[in-house]
A and B are shown apart, each in its own frame.
Chain A
Amino acid sequence: MRLGFVFGEVGQGLRRNASMVISIVLVTLVSLTFVGTALLLQLQIGQMKSYWYERAQVAVYLCTDTSPSASCPQGEASIDVQKLVEQKLKSDLISPYIDRFYFEDHKQAYDNFQKQFKGNTIAKYVTPAQLNQTFWVKLKDPTQSPIITQSFTGVAGVEEVRDQRSYLDQIFAILNAASLASIGVAALMLFSATLLISTTIRLSALSRRRELGIMRLVGASNFYIQLPFILEGVVAATIGSILASAAVWAVVHFFVRGYLATVLPFTSFVGDNQAFMVAPVLIGAGIVLAAVASGVAIRRYLKI
């Protein structure tokens, strides 16, 4: 095994096919950046889920005078309804699943609303009576919300039981769709990267067919003949994937951390650590992709 010779051949091939090599670098850069973005979106979703699901509560909204009559025919929930719900939450049947709960009356709901929608015109028109009195229930295991939902839905005086996670699920669905779209673009780009690598390797083999003919004639092993071409593709793709890792890091560092995190201070965002986790995946994927693509290309080109 003469590594010096192999690397000499690789260098020669890269120089001879400089423009094709640059296009491989760019295509792998773009495709792997999309892959990296998709991975980071998934990490972001996971991180937000664990943060918000942890805090998500189940709200048992009691009827008000302005509630739709279908669910609240009798209007404002009486104090009896309030007591009934409280008793049921404390019952042996339900209480083992509950971490803690508290009651929010019209006044507190109004104060919270005013705080939340400060400066918004809607705050001026809302009256305390329009806002539901609510039992906020924090479960030990947030996935067991159906226990509360089933127990209180349809109970007279209860307008609605709502798991906050259902709001979050919509956000996650949007993020998930973005992540899938990113994967889709990445798949297309990776496919074209594969074709580009095969074409480049074939061109490279064509431009060195004299050498290849002599190598076969004097009995160079297939491994020795193929290795420089495979390495050529791998070197180009590795450069592309390192650049893609840098691009992903830059997006996280400057856009997510530098901009989004300052605009949305109460959301937990992915950081440099996650970007560093994604980088080896991208580089590994780039190397494997290039090795397989150029290996297949050169095998088809060279018969014994």
Chain B
Amino acid sequence: MIRIDNVTKHYNGAARAALESVTLEIEKGDFVFLVGASGSGKSSLMRLMLREDVPNSGSVYVLGENLKRLPNRRVPYFRRKVGMVFQDFRLLPNKTVAQNVAFSLEVIGKSQGFIQAAVPDVLELVGLAHKAGNLPGELSGGEQQRVALARAIVNKPAILLADEPTGNLDPATSEDIMRLIERINAAGTTVVMATHDRAIVDRLQKRVVVLSHGQIISDERETGYSFTPANQNTNEDDN
């Protein structure tokens, strides 16, 4: 589903590589946490998976596509198969909840009929059907992240990338969001989630990939943050 092969990514002007010789394979239906300090390379790795960047060396295969060779004009069609949510939600403040979700379908040319059917469904799924007409500013942080999740999955992507989706939320709300992401995963969507949140990683007991200074220092299944053998290394520069 996702194969990262000996990838090195160096940003212009940066002293050291953001990712160095990273190799990682993620199967269909997997739930993978990417953990590590700020600057350890979690976001860089996700950017590569969404083809926001291409690696300097090594290769990235996602959904059978070699992203390094994917021509620019086909990138949008690739991204339609991958959903993404962020710490800061990235909703359009002047559009309602339903319009925000509909917008992501309108811009990929879906028919009005499809949109009218799909948007209420997905809002129902994330538990926001009753807030469809509200503006994002009228919602709590957790509700806004639900809208963002609804937008990410409304087109039924094979992969959901989540970059610190609970970073701005209190623990109780985070639990709600995680339950939702687990449900999305249970429905067959592969989930890759970058996080700092120990409690969540510990509770879910999923595959945990630990990054430090651009390298994978541990990759174990059914584990927690605190039990990763390399946690000593990451603790010191964690924040």
Query: With A and B bound together, what is the CA distance between A217 and B161 in angstroms?
Result: 11
Q: Quick one: which of A2, A210, A218 contacts B104, CB cutoff 8 A?
A: A218
Most buried by A among B72, B84, B106, B108: B106
On chain B, the residues within 8 Å of A213 by CB distance are: 90
B79 interface contact, C-beta 8 A = yes
Question: Cβ of A214 and Cβ of B104 under 8 Å apart?
Answer: yes
A224 interface contact, C-beta 8 A = yes
B42 interface contact, C-beta 8 A = no
Question: Cβ of B75 and Cβ of A220 under 8 Å apart?
Answer: no
On chain A, the residues within 8 Å of B107 by CB distance are: 5, 214-215, 218, 220, 224-225
A221 interface contact, C-beta 8 A = yes
A219 interface contact, C-beta 8 A = yes
A214-B103 contact, Cβ under 8 Å, with A1-B109, A220-B108: yes
B227 interface contact, C-beta 8 A = no
Which chain B residue lies CB-closest to A212? B107
Question: Cβ of B108 and Cβ of A210 under 8 Å apart?
Answer: no
Question: Cβ of A211 and Cβ of B92 under 8 Å apart?
Answer: yes
The minimal Cβ–Cβ distance linking B22 to chain A, given in whole angstroms, is 22
Q: In residues 201-223 of chain A, which contact B (Cβ within 8 Å)?
A: 210-211, 213-222
Contact with A along B75-106 (1 / 0, CB 8 A): 11111110010000010100000000001101
Contact with B along A1-39 (1 / 0, CB 8 A): 110010000000000000000000000000000000000
Question: Cβ of A210 and Cβ of B109 under 8 Å apart?
Answer: no
A304 interface contact, C-beta 8 A = yes
On chain A, the residues within 8 Å of B72 by CB distance are: 222, 304
Query: With A and B bound together, what is the CA distance between A217 and B73 in angstroms?
Result: 14
Q: How many residues of A contact B (CB 8 A)?
A: 18
Question: Cβ of B90 and Cβ of A218 under 8 Å apart?
Answer: no
B190 interface contact, C-beta 8 A = no
Contact with A along B17-60 (1 / 0, CB 8 A): 00000000000000000000000000000000011000000000
Which chain A residue lies CB-closest to B85? A217
B155 interface contact, C-beta 8 A = yes
Question: Cβ of A221 and Cβ of B76 under 8 Å apart?
Answer: yes
Contact with B along A211-248 (1 / 0, CB 8 A): 10111111111101100000000000000000000000
Question: Cβ of A222 and Cβ of B73 under 8 Å apart?
Answer: yes
Question: Cβ of A2 and Cβ of B109 under 8 Å apart?
Answer: yes
B151 interface contact, C-beta 8 A = yes
Question: Cβ of B109 and Cβ of A219 under 8 Å apart?
Answer: no
On chain A, the residues within 8 Å of B111 by CB distance are: 2
Question: Cβ of A218 and Cβ of B151 under 8 Å apart?
Answer: yes
On chain A, the residues within 8 Å of B79 by CB distance are: 216-219
Q: Quick one: which of B76, B109, B110 contacts A222, CB cutoff 8 A?
A: B76
The minimal Cβ–Cβ distance linking B88 to chain A, given in whole angstroms, is 11
Query: With A and B bound together, what is the CA distance between A221 and B90 in angstroms?
Result: 19
Which chain A residue lies CB-closest to B51? A304
Question: Cβ of B92 and Cβ of A214 under 8 Å apart?
Answer: yes
Question: Cβ of A219 and Cβ of B90 under 8 Å apart?
Answer: no
The minimal Cβ–Cβ distance linking B74 to chain A, given in whole angstroms, is 10
Q: Quick one: which of A214, A224, A304 contacts B109, CB cutoff 8 A?
A: A224
Query: With A and B bound together, what is the CA distance between A216 and B77 in angstroms?
Result: 10
On chain A, the residues within 8 Å of B90 by CB distance are: 210, 213-214, 217
On chain B, the residues within 8 Å of A214 by CB distance are: 90, 92, 103-104, 107
Query: With A and B bound together, what is the CA distance between A304 and B79 in angstroms?
Result: 11
Question: Cβ of B84 and Cβ of A217 under 8 Å apart?
Answer: yes
A–B pairs, 13, beta carbons within 8 Å: A211-B92, A214-B103, A215-B107, A216-B79, A217-B79, A218-B79, A218-B80, A218-B104, A219-B75, A219-B78, A219-B79, A224-B108, A304-B75
Binding site for A on B (CB under 8 A): 50-51, 72-73, 75-81, 84, 90, 92, 103-104, 106-112, 151, 155
Known: A219-B77, A220-B108. 13 other contacts (CB 8 A): A2-B111, A211-B92, A214-B92, A217-B84, A218-B80, A218-B107, A218-B151, A219-B79, A219-B80, A224-B107, A224-B108, A225-B107, A304-B75
Q: A-B pairs with the 7 shortest C-beta distances?
A: A219-B79, A219-B80, A220-B107, A218-B104, A219-B76, A221-B76, A5-B106
